[in-house]
Structure 1
Amino acid sequence: MTQAARTPFSLYPELDATSLGAFVTALESGDVTGLAPARAAEVAELRSVAVFTRGKVTGADGDLLDAALWRHTGIQPRPLIVMPSPWTSLGWLVYAVQATVFAARGYNVLAYTTRGFAASEGQVEVAGALDVADGSRALDHLVERSAGPVTGIGFLGDSYGSGISQLVAAHDTRVDAVVALSSWGDLGEAFYENSTRHVEAVRALLKAAEKARLSPQTQSVFDNVLAGRDVPGTLAWAEPRSPFTHIKELNRREVPVFYAHAWHETLFPPNQTLKMFNELTGPKRLVLSIGDHSGPESSGMFGLPNRIWTDAHRWFDHHLKGVDNGIADEGQVLSEVMWSKTLEPRPTWPSLTEHIHRLHLAGGGELAEEPEAGWTATVVCGVDTTATVADAVVTAGYAEMAGRPKVYPTDDIDRSVAAVWASAPAAETTRLRGTPKLRVTYRAANPGSTFVAYLLDVAPDGSAHIVTHAPYSDLESAPDSLIRAEIELQATAYDVQRGNRLMLVIDARDPFYGDANLPRATLAFTSPEQTPSYLDLPLG
């Protein structure tokens, strides 16, 4: 039997449940035999100032939620943190180390496993009303067990727990600050980007929840996304589960929100979180890093130094303890540049982009400075090419973080089934900072059409790395219609080195997405004189 067959799929492939379990056992017993010195020191420090216990929280409808409590016994005023678990059978165990660090620094902490996962009762509702009520019940539980006055309340979650944390903060006025790692802002947009189904993301969620108990509605929604059924029903289901829907409540109280996200996120693409971030009016911070879902922060979950978790601690120290640690003055955005890993602070998201450089799609396969009309580039549907989003959901991001991003051999892209345009070699380093935008006109012979646009950075030898991408689907135009697509590619901070070219590839098939094309149909791309096709590059 292969390792893949023995090991269930996880959104946290590097987390070791055995090691985390041993850490928790040591928290209870004080016996640190077998623990790494750093973990043993954390256990000793925690036990000298606070008490750790496992237990249950009575959630909505009386369902019991598996939980762990880190509690100080003294009566001095303290801030509190509630941590809803991610989308994993590990439940609250994921947070064991970080919750211990928070508690050793003076916080009372409650981490709980969201309903339907692991040892928690109930069914998985995907951040539904019961999950929001559970968050408030968990907070009640923590407040009741805090011996002294409460000075501030924070909610922190990774992935699934981050969406729930935002929703609880929008509905429960006791919440003073939020940390949302690898989160979503608009769940409908995450599932249907530019009307295109994120089928591989939904498959990954289902695989990671194989041991969970999904509610019938949850199972039905996921099945519908995979099958391309009832899009309006899925969007209606997603709306109340989207923090963006409740942004007025967050803004009314100006709740401070800290986000951390990955540029090449394959579950919750960054643009939908950026939409949420840009509409927040209270204190806010966004850290964007190389990698994929939950990858940039994962090392901090098993206790290694991690700048994202360091900033999460600083965020709560400032907004819940009143510590003047400088985080409020460091700008709203911190970007890790691909692939230099340079960290660039900026005061706001719009300030990343200093100007726009427009390149036009030309008939000879060039990204040109001037528009050119009268050409046609044909894409054959139903045929995949070597231009793809990534090799795998989530795990491809770990290779990127290790400095081994996927290499695309651009000579292998079949030009008979894909359309390709390339720029002239860069005369100097091109600093892409912000959200590239593509406008392209095409004719679809059949009703329903989908394409995926990829922006690649191509070295002189023809090897390339992906900069960004986006899918697009048209589900309403009549056959043989001329369709104008205007889309935003996923945001980026990317340096194209001198001598490299930018390459735009458009094809009609990618395993990450469900497509609306008929097999062997064609999409004919063009550039009408009145509405030329172009690519807008954000430069910083």
Structure 2
Amino acid sequence: MGHHRKALRTTAVGAVSASLVAGGVLGLAPTAQATGHSVRFVDIRGDGGTVLKANVVTPAGADATHRHPLIVLPTAWGFPQAQYLAQAQKLADSGYVVVGYNVRGFWQSGGEIEVAGPRDVADASEVVDWALAHTPADPRRIGMAGVSYGAGISLLAAAHDPRIRAVASLSGWADLIGSIYSGRTQHTQAAALLHTVGTVAGRESAETRRMFSDFLSGNLAREQEMIAWGRKRSAGTYVDRINKNGTAVLLAGAWGDTVFPPNQSADFYEKLTGPKRLELRPGDHATPELTGLFGLPNDVWTDTGRWFDRYLKGEDNGIDREQPVRLKSRSTGGYEGYPDWKSVAATTRKVALAGTTTLHTNVDSGADGGIVFLSSILDQVAQLPPVASIPLLPRRWAAVWQSEKYVTAQHIRGTAGLHTTVTPTEESGTLVAYLYDVGPLGLGKLVSNAPYTFHGRTPGKPFGLDLELYSTAYDVPAGHRLALVVDTVDPLYLEHNPSGARLTFSSPANDPSYVSIPLREQ
């Protein structure tokens, strides 16, 4: 069964990888030039002379006598340079010079994939230099934006290049390690997907190949090296520089992002001191903004344009007077505004996790976080998250606690947290916590989840565990209850449970176990 499940997971990852690459090649072609803007394809010399394939979209009638604000768009992981042409043409029609470029190591650009390393950051500044020298771009009004990989590079570039005055980070990351190694657990499906796409559509550097290999194999001997490598590639490491530069930062992401979960973006948002905005919507990695890449109406790209209009053009369009935290519920689809992230959850209610439960490891109980991309897309388009029959979960491999039935709807907003005491039989182990919305028939819809791995613990000695689940916005209907489920195997993550290991969860009188539920005011 285990080998069969692994084969299915590999097939799913491969299929998603192929669809992403195919979508980049076939679906994102230039649109018709109906309004007179010009599009040209150029070669730009990046760091060390590496050739970066790029396209330049210039407003109609632009000439050297009138300078226009500049927007630079680095491509997403595995996508060709045509990725942003639909949006670039819209931006050009509203007065921007737009330069989209294929990041190094992918498709026809030179160099190797270095995962937003120093050369990628230097490339961004070289593209800005080129644009200022070869287009009617205004050196005082420069912005950057991108999806996924392009988002991460944009934030890092803003930290290192003070000329960049505004950034729109769409489905990006601010903490690379906090994204794919949260809870000290390898997010293997996400990493395997990135590695596969990098192999198909690009040329990974030797360092990148080694990092993926060590990560996917769970090589703890190189853990500190991997963490240092990730921190160098995280905008959160340089947040003081971004604040010093006064960069206006828009962060947009998805509740179900299986590559870059929303928690790290919310943490980064709270540390920013300049103009800022946080938007979170239903969906998975890069799916909320996907339709905009085809030129279709899209809220993410609409707000991106408004953000640049305010902070590059100086237009008084009101975006700076709106509530800066803008959330769209997975349940209702309506937008909600908050003054800051801390205000999202007005109250917190605890569900007690009473008693003592011993869990056998190494077997998937049936409680899972789903499949990278596919599961959260279903939640986005049809409100169909991963499900599990809570009464049928085998208690040998799944620990289950349930709340009472709720008389009124519970509006979960923000970050749920697990606090418990664990006694392991081995020095290492992995567990995954799931929060379910359980209906009258016992069918649980996944609200949130998160993994946790420990090493170096003394067998038989209890330790306290505090785990933040992935942030979300979900409404539990009246008559339903919440269930907290813990097991030890999930296809999304790499487990570190020795064969035959057991985990005991207890609730000492002086330190009771609970799951804290963040709730919006009724």
TM-score by structure 1 length? Answer: 0.90
The superposition leaves residues 455-498 of structure 1 with CA deviations (integer Å, 9 ceiling, x where unpaired) of 00011111221111111111121222212111111111111110
Q: How does 1:423-438 map to 2 (within 5 A)?
A: 423-438=403-418
Aligned match of 2:26: 18
Aligned match of 1:32: none
Structure-2 change in CA distance of 1:342 and 1:276 (3 Å): same
> Which residue, 175, 188, 192 being the options, matches 1:199?
188
| Structure 2 residue 503 is the aligned partner of structure 1 residue 523 | yes
> Which residue, 483, 488, 492 being the options, matches 1:503?
483
Q: How does 1:282-297 map to 2 (within 5 A)?
A: 282-297=274-289
Q: How does 1:143-222 map to 2 (within 5 A)?
A: 143-147=132-136, 149-211=138-200, 212-222=202-212
| Structure 2 residue 64 is the aligned partner of structure 1 residue 56 | no
State the 1:210 CA deviation: 2.1
| Structure 2 residue 359 is the aligned partner of structure 1 residue 400 | no
State the 1:194 CA deviation: 1.4
State the 1:11 CA deviation: 7.3
Q: How does 1:73-88 map to 2 (within 5 A)?
A: 73-74=62-63, 75-88=65-78
State the 1:414 CA deviation: 1.4
Q: What is the alpha-carbon distance in structure 2 between the residues aligned to residue 164 and residue 275 of structure 1?
A: 18
Aligned match of 2:215: 225
Aligned match of 2:129: 140
Aligned match of 1:470: 450
State the 1:188 CA deviation: 1.4
Structure-2 change in CA distance of 1:136 and 1:149 (3 Å): closer
The superposition leaves residues 512-531 of structure 1 with CA deviations (integer Å, 9 ceiling, x where unpaired) of 11121112311011111121
Q: What is the alpha-carbon distance in structure 2 between the residues aligned to residue 357 and residue 19 of structure 1?
A: 46
State the 1:76 CA deviation: 1.5
Q: What is the alpha-carbon distance in structure 1 between the residues aligned to residue 304 and residue 97 of structure 2?
A: 16
Aligned match of 1:244: 236
SS at match of 1:176: strand
Count of residue pairs the alignment pairs up: 504
State the 1:423 CA deviation: 0.6
Structure-2 change in CA distance of 1:531 and 1:344 (3 Å): same
Identity in percent: 37
CA contact under 8 A between 2:351 and 2:516: conserved in structure 1? yes
Q: What is the alpha-carbon distance in structure 1 between the residues aligned to residue 334 and residue 138 of structure 2?
A: 42
State the 1:404 CA deviation: 4.1
Q: What is the alpha-carbon distance in structure 2 between the residues aligned to residue 257 and residue 458 of structure 1?
A: 38
Q: What is the alpha-carbon distance in structure 1 between the residues aligned to residue 152 and residue 296 of structure 2?
A: 25
> Which residue, 509, 515, 518 being the options, matches 1:538?
518
User: Over aligned residue pairs, what C-alpha RMSD do you find?
Assistant: 1.8
Structure-2 change in CA distance of 1:4 and 1:457 (3 Å): closer
Q: What is the alpha-carbon distance in structure 2 between the residues aligned to residue 238 and residue 338 of structure 1?
A: 31
| Structure 2 residue 342 is the aligned partner of structure 1 residue 334 | no
SS at match of 1:481: coil
CA contact under 8 A between 2:47 and 2:122: conserved in structure 1? yes
The superposition leaves residues 323-367 of structure 1 with CA deviations (integer Å, 9 ceiling, x where unpaired) of 11111111111111121111111111111111111121023xxxx
CA contact under 8 A between 2:14 and 2:196: conserved in structure 1? no
SS at match of 1:194: helix
> Which residue, 44, 54, 78 being the options, matches 1:67?
54
TM-score by structure 2 length? Answer: 0.93
CA contact under 8 A between 2:426 and 2:501: conserved in structure 1? yes
Q: How does 1:273-352 map to 2 (within 5 A)?
A: 273-352=265-344
2:130 maps to a residue whose letter is: H
Q: What is the alpha-carbon distance in structure 2 between the residues aligned to residue 410 and residue 258 of structure 1?
A: 39
Q: What is the alpha-carbon distance in structure 1 between the residues aligned to residue 14 and residue 245 of structure 2?
A: 48
Structure-2 change in CA distance of 1:332 and 1:149 (3 Å): closer
For structure 2, the 5+ residue unaligned runs are 1-7
Aligned match of 1:100: 89
For structure 1, the 5+ residue unaligned runs are 25-38, 364-375
CA contact under 8 A between 2:68 and 2:136: conserved in structure 1? no
Structure-2 change in CA distance of 1:462 and 1:148 (3 Å): closer
State the 1:71 CA deviation: 2.2
SS at match of 1:197: coil
Q: How does 1:383-398 map to 2 (within 5 A)?
A: 383-390=363-370, 392-398=371-377
| Structure 2 residue 17 is the aligned partner of structure 1 residue 9 | yes
Q: How does 1:449-488 map to 2 (within 5 A)?
A: 449-488=429-468
Q: How does 1:102-117 map to 2 (within 5 A)?
A: 102-117=91-106
> Which residue, 337, 358, 381 being the options, matches 2:350?
358
Structure-2 change in CA distance of 1:120 and 1:271 (3 Å): same
Q: What is the alpha-carbon distance in structure 2 between the residues aligned to residue 434 and residue 127 of structure 1?
A: 29
Q: How does 1:429-448 map to 2 (within 5 A)?
A: 429-448=409-428
Q: What is the alpha-carbon distance in structure 2 between the residues aligned to residue 302 and residue 63 of structure 1?
A: 29
SS at match of 1:251: helix
2:394 maps to a residue whose letter is: D
Q: What is the alpha-carbon distance in structure 2 between the residues aligned to residue 100 and residue 444 of structure 1?
A: 58
SS at match of 1:525: strand
CA contact under 8 A between 2:28 and 2:293: conserved in structure 1? no
The superposition leaves residues 63-113 of structure 1 with CA deviations (integer Å, 9 ceiling, x where unpaired) of 10111011243221210000011001x322111101111111110010000
SS at match of 2:225: helix
